[in-house]
C-alpha cells in the first residue's frame, strides 16, 4: 500500500504518456538502476504562434525579442512596440518594431526576418536609408539596431546580442 493510498484511501495513477522511464545503459544489469525521466520534445520548444505583443500581432522573431528585452530587465512601460513615424504605414512613413526608452537615449530595434527582408545589397541599402530617416526624425543620439534571423536563432544568442547592443534595464 502506497502513501497516497493510505492517506486518501484510493490509488492515484499518472497517465502512461506523461513520462517514459528509461533505464541507463551502463546500469542495465543492476536490479536497482536509477530511472531517468525522458522529457517530451514539445516541452523543450517555445510556444507556437500566433504571437501577440500587447494585443498586436507579432512575428516569432518579434515575440522572441520582446521576451528577451523583458529578461534583460526592461520594464514593459519602457518598451514601445510598433511605433509609427512620419505617417506609419502610409506612403513615406515607417513603423518601428521596438523603441526602448533608455535614460541616455532611445534605442530603435528593427527585427528583420530573412524570409521577408532578405539580406541582399538592395535590402542593406534600404536598411541604411531607413536608419537615416529615423535619425533625421529623432536626432543622431539614438541607437539604431537591426536584428536579423541569425541574431535570434537561439535564446542565448538573442540575449547576448541585445545585451551588447541595448544593455540591461
Residue 26 pLDDT greater than 60, yes or no: no
| Same domain as 79, residue 25 | no
| Same domain as 128, residue 106 | yes
* Domain with 156 in it: 51-165
| Same domain as 115, residue 98 | yes
- Under the banding of pLDDT at 50, 70 and 90, the label for residue 66 is very high
| Same domain as 56, residue 40 | no
Work out the mean pLDDT of the chain and round it to a whole number.
76
| Same domain as 135, residue 60 | yes
More confident residue, 9 or 81: 81
- Say which CATH number the domain at 102 has: 3.40.1350.10
Domains: count for the chain: 2
| Same domain as 80, residue 121 | yes
Residue 74 pLDDT greater than 70, yes or no: yes
Q: Hey, how many other C-beta atoms are within 10 angstroms of the C-beta on 94?
A: 18
How confident is the model over 101-129, as a mean pLDDT?
79
Q: Residues 62, 69: contact at Cβ < 8 Å?
A: no
| Same domain as 147, residue 90 | yes
Residue 22 pLDDT greater than 90, yes or no: no
How confident is the model over 117-139, as a mean pLDDT?
77
List all residues 6 or more positions away from 42 whose beta carbon is below 8 Å from its beta carbon: none
Residue 4 pLDDT greater than 50, yes or no: yes
Amino acid at each position: 500500500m502506497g502513501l497516497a493510498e493510505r492517506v486518501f484511501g484510493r490509488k492515484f495513477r499518472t497517465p502512461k504518456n506523461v513520462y517514459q522511464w528509461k533505464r541507463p545503459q551502463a546500469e542495465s544489469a543492476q536490479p536497482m538502476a536509477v530511472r531517468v525521466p525522458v522529457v517530451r520534445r514539445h516541452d523543450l520548444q517555445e510556444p507556437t504562434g500566433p504571437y501577440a505583443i500587447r494585443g498586436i500581432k507579432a512575428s516569432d522573431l518579434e515575440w522572441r525579442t520582446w521576451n528577451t528585452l523583458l529578461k534583460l530587465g526592461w520594464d514593459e512601460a519602457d518598451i514601445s512596440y510598433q511605433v509609427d513615424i512620419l505617417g506609419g504605414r502610409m506612403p513615406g512613413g515607417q513603423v518601428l518594431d521596438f523603441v526602448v526608452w533608455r535614460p541616455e537615449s532611445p534605442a530603435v530595434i528593427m527585427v528583420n526576418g530573412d524570409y521577408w527582408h532578405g539580406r541582399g545589397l538592395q535590402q542593406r541599402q534600404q536598411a541604411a536609408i531607413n536608419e537615416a530617416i529615423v535619425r533625421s526624425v529623432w536626432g543622431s543620439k539614438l541607437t539604431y539596431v537591426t536584428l536579423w534571423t541569425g541574431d535570434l536563432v537561439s535564446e542565448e544568442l538573442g540575449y547576448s546580442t541585445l545585451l551588447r547592443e541595448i544593455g540591461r534595464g
